[in-house]
Structure 1
Amino acid sequence: MHRLLLIDDDEALAGPLTQYLARFDFQLEAVTRPSAAVARLGAERFDALILDGMLPEMDGFEFCKRLRAGAAPWRDIPVLMLTARGDLTDRVVGLELGADDYLPKPFEPRELAARLQTILRRTRLAPAAAPAAAQPAGRLCFEGLEIDTARREVRCANGFVELTGTEYELLLLLAREPGRVFSRDDILNRLRGQEAELFTRAVDILVSRLRRKLEPLEALKTLRNAGYCFALPARSA
Structure 2
Amino acid sequence: MDILIVEDEAEIAQLIQITLEKEGFNCRISRDGNNALQIFQEQAPDLIILDLMIPHLDGLEVCARIRQKPGIKDPYILMLTAKGEEIDRVIGLSTGADDYMVKPFSPRELVARVRALLRRNLRQGGQNNGNTYRTRNFVIDLERHTASRQTDSQAIEELDLTTLEFNLLSTFVSNPSRVWNRSQLIDKLWGDNFFGDERVVDTHIARLRKKIEPDPTNPIYIKTVVGIGYKFEDLPIS
Give the TM-score normalised by the residue count of structure 2: 0.79
Aligned-residue CA RMSD (Å)? 2.9
In structure 2, the residue matched to 1:220 is: 222
Identical-residue share of aligned pairs (%): 33
SS in 2 for 1:29: strand
Which residue number in structure 2 is paired with residue 111 of structure 1? 109
Q: Could you list the per-position Cα deviations for residues 174-232 of structure 1 after superposition, in whole angstroms to 9, with x for gaps in the alignment?
A: 22222333222122233333276544333334334433443345222344444322222
Residue ranges of structure 1 left out of the alignment (5+ in a row) = none
Matches within 5 A, 1:190-229: 190-194=188-192, 198-216=196-214, 217-229=219-231
Q: CA deviation at 1:160?
A: 4.8
The answer for the alignment partner of 1:96 in structure 2 is 94
Which whole-Å CA distance do the structure 2 matches of 1:179 and 1:65 have between them?
Answer: 32
Aligned length: 229
Distance 1:5 1:196 in 2: 21
Superposition map of 1:182-197 within 5 A:
182-194=180-192
Matches within 5 A, 1:122-137: 122=120, 125-126=121-122, 133-137=127-131
Offset at residue 116 of structure 1 (A): 0.9
Counterpart in 2 of 1:170?
168
Distance 1:141 1:182, change over 3 A: same
> What SS does the aligned partner of 1:194 have?
helix
Of 133, 157, 162, which residue of structure 1 is paired with 2:151?
Answer: 157
Instruction: Give 1:50 shift.
Output: 0.6
Looking at structure 1, the residues matched to 54 and 84 of structure 2 have their Cα atoms a distance apart, in angstroms, of 17
Shift of 1:113: 1.0
Deviation, 1:82, is 1.2
Normalised TM-score (structure 1): 0.80
1:181, 1:227 within 8 Å by CA — same for their partners in 2? yes
| 1:30-45 matched pairs, under 5 angstroms | 30-44=29-43
- Change in Cα spacing, 1:134 to 1:15, as seen in structure 2 (3 Å) is closer
